[in-house]
Structure 1
């Protein structure tokens, strides 16, 4: 077990791909960012976790699922995840990829927005966005597929702790991140494309608000990578960056300045301190104080109403 290490969040400002043929060159650029993070900081500390933002490989830029399947979606695993696996093995690190638009023969007709956790031993898990940003995102939620039988909120035991990821809009739902924490997650990874005006600038700054709140309520580290893209790269929005690392008490350990630009931000993860606090603390221990039985009737009836573009 590696108890103390650094994480790197890599925000990007790149043109939005229109074809899957563009993904290979994009992966090459992102692999270069990994080398910069790991090698550049090696004289000072060990970077063991590298996280990329949502839409790093492809965004749902077309209006229909059929167009996404035809032009951008890929199966997982694929040649790109193989390249990440080779890099993870070379550097002895764990990589939370930016999202792919994914197709899976088990679920014909569906396109998922998916991020992968990849380590030295290869592909460890994939997380499919449970809460698409309606009405703009037309890809599927696995929650909505009849008979879906894979974990919605996977958590992976690794040598750098128990890792769980969720994507962007998922983080506005406390239940989604609590599901990861209750499954044992110690490091909560946010793969995001959080746009203006809700991003990392006042007066709203939902980005910082929810990252810090989820860290506190789940007594876990939050490692959050956001897009830092200009509007011409990802229209119609600009993406304000602000990628950050937050500790289990909600302290911001490091953060990129707000603004649309490429940036690598690093910050410490002290797994030993987190585990000691979870073991020792009696006050403000929200996980152990949770009276789950008090809320069993809260969602007794379905309340989800899918929204579509008008």
Structure 2
């Protein structure tokens, strides 16, 4: 792309328990994005792998200094691009005895350095029998306890989240309050919840914060027990969909990030200045 605005790349892929195959796909997408002019590339939740059972999910996990992040760090440095690696299965202290890991969103700069780590706070514990959805993320994942400040990147200030965080507007509004211009939701949405809620939630987060929203996605069958919705999506600060990768097996979407458009949107409709937070949290029972 030839533009005066920085370019972000959204990736869509189908991760499996095969970490080597997943890295080959991720690296190919990053290389294609860099060749197309992207300065920052976004990979989805579970880019490292999606396990077929609890034991495998735990055993395949790594620390931040393990092989997977090291390889992506080398790739970022070689290509001179920033990477959003959202939904990494991170081993924490005593992970083996506690049988818990973290779902971590990692930002690497163009030198391959880790500049931010956000550990997913909202865990997906949902049982929708009529929809065929049954996942209990808390059975193997520790919740993160804090948000992290938005990260200054070549495309703007990026606020970090992961998948299910999308359903909690307080999260996005807190990131906005700390300067976010882009919100990112790397995801592995189920098919049933994706059909019902994916686009409307992403557009809502963009409209209420007047941020760009970038959501890389998993797609298709990971193993016989689990499939993801796909439709990696980019939304502008007015809520318009800029790109939708649909149900493609894997792919790449390039998005120009025009921060002047963001500033104009916030100037013309100054909803942030109109917020009345003291009123929202005042007790409704007060006399």
TM-score (norm 1): 0.78
Match of 1:148 in 2: none
Match of 1:4 in 2: 5
Does the aligned pair in 2 maintain the 1:192–1:227 contact within 8 Å?
Answer: yes
In the aligned structure 2, how far is the partner of 1:229 from the partner of 1:193? 10
**How many residues end up aligned between the 2 structures?**
267
Match of 1:105 in 2: 93
Does the aligned pair in 1 maintain the 2:237–2:265 contact within 8 Å?
Answer: no
Residues 177-204 of structure 1 show CA distances to partners (whole Å, capped at 9, x for unaligned) of 11211121111111000111222x4xx2
Does the aligned pair in 1 maintain the 2:11–2:252 contact within 8 Å?
Answer: yes
Mark the CA change 1:234 to 1:25 in structure 2 (over 3 Å): closer, same or farther: closer
Does the aligned pair in 2 maintain the 1:165–1:191 contact within 8 Å?
Answer: no
Does the aligned pair in 1 maintain the 2:160–2:185 contact within 8 Å?
Answer: yes
| Structure showing the higher strand proportion among its residues | 2
Q: Please list, as runs of the form range in 1=range in 2, the aligned pairs for 1:193-208 lying within 5 A after superposition.
A: 193-199=188-194, 201=195, 204=196, 206-208=197-199
Residues 263-303 of structure 1 show CA distances to partners (whole Å, capped at 9, x for unaligned) of 2112211123223443x33x3x33222222223357xxxxx
Q: Please list, as runs of the form range in 1=range in 2, the aligned pairs for 1:212-291 lying within 5 A after superposition.
A: 212-230=203-221, 233-257=222-246, 259=247, 261-278=249-266, 280-281=267-268, 283=269, 285-291=270-276
- 1:294 maps to which of 247, 268, 279: 279
Structural RMSD (CA): 2.4
Match of 1:34 in 2: 30
Deviates most, 134-143 or 160-169:
134-143
In the alignment, structure 1 segments of 5+ residues that lack a partner are 144-150, 299-310
- 2:149 maps to which of 118, 141, 154: 154
TM-score (norm 2): 0.84
Match of 2:121 in 1: 130
In the aligned structure 2, how far is the partner of 1:77 from the partner of 1:297? 46
In the alignment, structure 2 segments of 5+ residues that lack a partner are 127-135
Does the aligned pair in 1 maintain the 2:6–2:154 contact within 8 Å?
Answer: no
In the aligned structure 2, how far is the partner of 1:84 from the partner of 1:237? 26
- 1:166 maps to which of 161, 165, 169: 161
| Structure showing the higher helix proportion among its residues | 2
Q: How far apart are 1:78 and its partner, in Å?
A: 2.8
Mark the CA change 1:297 to 1:27 in structure 2 (over 3 Å): closer, same or farther: farther
Match of 1:141 in 2: 143
